[in-house]
Structure 1
Amino acid sequence: MRVYGHDPDNPQQGPQPGREYVELLGGPLDGQLHDVTGMSPTEQQEGALLITEQGAYGPGGRADYALGDEPGRWEWRGDVP
């Protein structure tokens, strides 16, 4: 499984030991993992705007992901410029 922000050609693109990840569900980053190591529970609850070239706003646009119904998974809430 690929980790968000890692170069797809990097052989170390998968999850690394000692790190904490959430799975991204839906949207342009569906199926990727996002490293939340070091984020507080409150920050994890709020989610993040993740840069993506594949969203509705093209390169530099962001995909909005936040905690969904299942722990360890963030659900896509839409794209923003």
Structure 2
Amino acid sequence: MDEVEFMRGRVYGAEHDDPGPRAGRVYAQLVGGPLDGLLLDITDLTEQERVRGVSLPTEIGRYGPGGRSSYAPRPDEPRRFDWRGDAL
């Protein structure tokens, strides 16, 4: 199994031994970029934070360790966050 397949269905930031979604939480699917296919727990984000999008630390983006990947919700599908690019 390659890295991309291994990560599908996992929650961003979850422990490796407990990677799945939890009941009672709200998730958005990350689409595109280095975190494609991961789920992001958006339960505790305010409405403003959800609309603005997120910048997530990742070691597998363009800039490697210390880099971040930006994702923003689709206007017509707020539970799908599209990749906007990588930054330091």
**5+ long unaligned stretches in structure 2:** 1-8
Q: Number of residue pairs matched?
A: 79
| 1:79 correspondence with 2:86 | yes
Query: What TM-score, normalized to structure 2?
Result: 0.84
Query: What TM-score, normalized to structure 1?
Result: 0.91
Distance 1:80 1:19 in 2: 28
CA RMSD of aligned residues (A): 1.0
| 1:45 correspondence with 2:51 | yes
The percent identity for this pair of structures is: 51
* AA partner of residue 20 (structure 1): V
**5+ long unaligned stretches in structure 1:** none
Higher share of residues assigned helix: 2
1:13 matched to which residue of 2?
A: 19
Runs of 4+ more than 6 Å apart: none
Match of 2:37 among 31, 35, 59: 31
